[in-house]
Structure 1
Amino acid sequence: MARLLPYVILDGNAKEAVAFYEKALQANVIGIQTFGEMPENPNFPLPDEAKDRVSHAMIKVGDTDMMFSDTFPGTPHVVGNHVTICIMADTKEQATEYYQALQEGGKVTMPLQETFWSPAYGIVIDKYGVTFQISTESQ
């Protein structure tokens, strides 16, 4: 069964937000990874100003996970559009079904593809303007 998770996108202060929510919501920090800690990609060199920004963080509030990241330097950050919904699918096939259904009448921001953290990950803004990050937990 898939899970829906809130995903908050910030502009360079995701570490601060994680610490805030850890205290405010009595959350447990599951992990924080910066862009600088990700595997290097020779086709896409990482600028110095991106290295300390959060590429992915997760906290647990009760039984619910909440995720965070910072924008990549130069990417516009619009308050009001910075909370997305992440669908964690059980399988690649399930992720593909969600992705195809949500893109109808909407806009693909990132094609569904294999990444180093997921066998199927993509981003779609649906026809109502809601941004969905579709990810897969297993093969």
Structure 2
Amino acid sequence: MDIYLHFSDQATEAIAFYETVFKTEPAQIMTFGQMPHDEEHPVDENIKNLVMNSNLKINDTNVMISDSPEGMAPPIVVGNNVALVFNAKTADEASNIFQQLATNGTILLPLEKTFWADLYGMVKDQYGVNWHINLY
């Protein structure tokens, strides 16, 4: 299981802080400007340098960190900026877990293929816990 931290526009600053605090290797970082070009959904110049995804190892835990620009993600509210990440081993497992978490919950991003994963989706369960479901 991994942890995901979301920020409005402070991900780069937070990453540097956590690297220093926990004396980690430098995080692997991808910005919104590094996403594949999509004519139907161009990336706004104002967010190109924001962090789309990063991966920081703290002890043996993956701590993923990103910015959540307005219009591309739910608004950041202290308390919803932390998510648990489940890395499924099969598509069936990803679908089953996603659907169970969505029961009486809210689908934030449907489980579907992305350019970085075979399946990826975001769901808030009935208890208000945010989950990211991945299949790589």
Q: Normalized against structure 1, the TM-score is what?
A: 0.91
Following TM superposition, the consecutive aligned residue runs of length 4 or more in structure 1 with deviations greater than 4 angstroms are none
Gaps of 5+ in 1: none
* SS in structure 2 at match of 1:110: strand
1:61 corresponds to which residue? 58
Describe the superposition over 1:35-78 as per-residue Cα deviations: whole angstroms up to 9, x where unpaired.
00010111111111110110000111121110000012355221
Q: Is the 8 A contact 2:86 2:131 kept in 1?
A: yes
Root-mean-square deviation over aligned CA pairs:
1.2
The 2-side partners of 1:22 and 1:126 are apart by 31
Tell whether the 8 Å contact from 2:112 to 2:119 is kept in structure 1 after alignment.
yes
* Partner SS state of residue 111, structure 2: strand
- Residue 19 of structure 1 corresponds to 16
Q: C-alpha distance in 2, partners of 1:82/1:6?
A: 10
Deviates more, 1:51-60 or 1:25-34: 25-34
Q: Judge conservation of contact 1:49–1:73 (CA < 8 Å) in 2.
A: no
Moved more, 65-74 or 9-18: 65-74
Unaligned runs of 5+ in 2: none
Question: Are 1:70 and 2:76 matched, yes or no?
Answer: no
